[in-house]
Amino acid sequence: MQETADRPLIDPFGRTITYLRVSVTDRCDFRCVYCMAEDMHFLPKRDLLTLEELDRLCSVFVGRGVRKLRITGGEPLVRRDIMHLFRSLSRHLASGALDELTVTTNGSQLARYATELADCGVRRVNVSLDTLDAAKFRATTRWGDLGKVMAGIDAAQAAGLAVKINAVALKGVNEDEIPRLIDWSHGRGMDLTLIEVMPLGEIEPARVDQFLPLSLVKARLMERYTLDEIDYRTGGPARYVRVRETGGRLGFITPMTHNFCESCNRVRVTCTGTLYMCLGQEDAADLRAPLRASESDAPLEAAIERAIARKPKGHDFVIDRRHARPAVGRHMSVTGG
């Protein structure tokens, strides 16, 4: 019998929380220039939730009406024994309690895990890829190997996974390459989503120099392509158009130039069990303490309810051009992509 959520999580603005993004690690095998400092200091492993704790936490959210679960990082597929978590969570797909179990990855480990992910009920993956130029890719990721990512995408598609490409629009880096990314993605039957740089965490380059407004990108693309508005949503914040010339979908995630908070149905949990009700706010709730304090889920549920009651109407993203400070001090790899 299909499980149902008797008491859905509803925030103060009447939005029902149906989408949970869970970071399973702050570690990554890349050091993307807009996401991490090169010399990152990672969390002690004792601070991280165990795979069993992550499973329990996710299951409580599923029991309260979450229908979509995305596993993120850092790079989630570098977490040791991560497939144990996917295999365990797949029971919620089988029961009908969960509509979708998915993952955001840099693609470096996909060749190894694609078939197993598909066996666990994962039907689509998001792959972060900002450039198709191998030298530029190495420079942007610092440590990445484009060949491994391409092999991972091949393996994912061979396993029957739908692949969506996420590309961060970076001024002076890949802005001239966006049409190539569109043609390549759509040529392989993959959606492409463009994302504005988000002001999260202290990193070396001045983020104000990286910021490229997608309104400008879209205007440029309209000189080359016909972009037809479509009513398509994946549960996330992207707004999609169909590129008439390629037949493919192109998404825009614009936290800086267009606030998409009015329909936000998402919350995020970090690998340490910290619940962020909004990516662009510092307010958070500790779920690790109630999780570890009792074998009963009641304290954990109570902590979640109190947190959702504080979910804000919108984020505070802004790039501080005077002081080159991030709007939020934590890195994206800590919160989960």
- The pLDDT tens digits of the residues spanning 261-290 come to 667 889 999 999 999 998 667 789 999 999
Chain segment 129-152, per-residue pLDDT in tens: 999 999 999 988 887 899 999 999
Chain segment 70-99, per-residue pLDDT in tens: 999 999 999 999 999 999 999 999 999 999
Mean pLDDT of 293-303: 97
Q: Starting at the earlier edge strand, list the strands of the sheet with 284-286.
A: 227-229, 239-243, 249-253, 191-195, 162-168, 124-128, 100-105, 68-72, 19-23, 266-269, 274-276, 284-286
Chain segment 204-227, per-residue pLDDT in tens: 555 457 788 999 999 999 999 999
**Binding site listing for S-adenosyl-L-methionine:** 34, 74, 128, 198
Instruction: Give yes or no for residue 4 having a pLDDT over 50.
Output: no
Residue 200 tokens read as: 């999260």
- Please report the pLDDT score of residue 333 as a whole number: 46
- Please report the pLDDT score of residue 5 as a whole number: 57
The model carries a pTM of 0.87
Picking from 272, 295, 275, 291, the residue whose alpha carbon sits closest to that of residue 283 is 275
User: b/e map of 256-282 (b: 16 or more CB within 10 Å)?
Assistant: beeebbeebbbbbbbbbbbbbbbbbbe
Reply yes or no on domain 19-335 having CATH 3.20.20.70: yes
**Binding site listing for GTP:** 21, 70, 104, 164, 266-268
**Binding site listing for [4Fe-4S] cluster:** 28, 32, 35, 261, 264, 278
How far, in whole angstroms, is CA 224 from its chain's centroid?
Answer: 29
- φ/ψ (deg, to 5) at 86: -60, -45
**Binding site listing:** 21, 28, 32, 34-35, 70, 74, 104, 128, 164, 198, 261, 264, 266-268, 278
- Please report the pLDDT score of residue 116 as a whole number: 98
Task: Give all strands (DSSP E) within 202-281, no chain letters.
Answer: 227-229, 239-243, 249-253, 266-269, 274-276
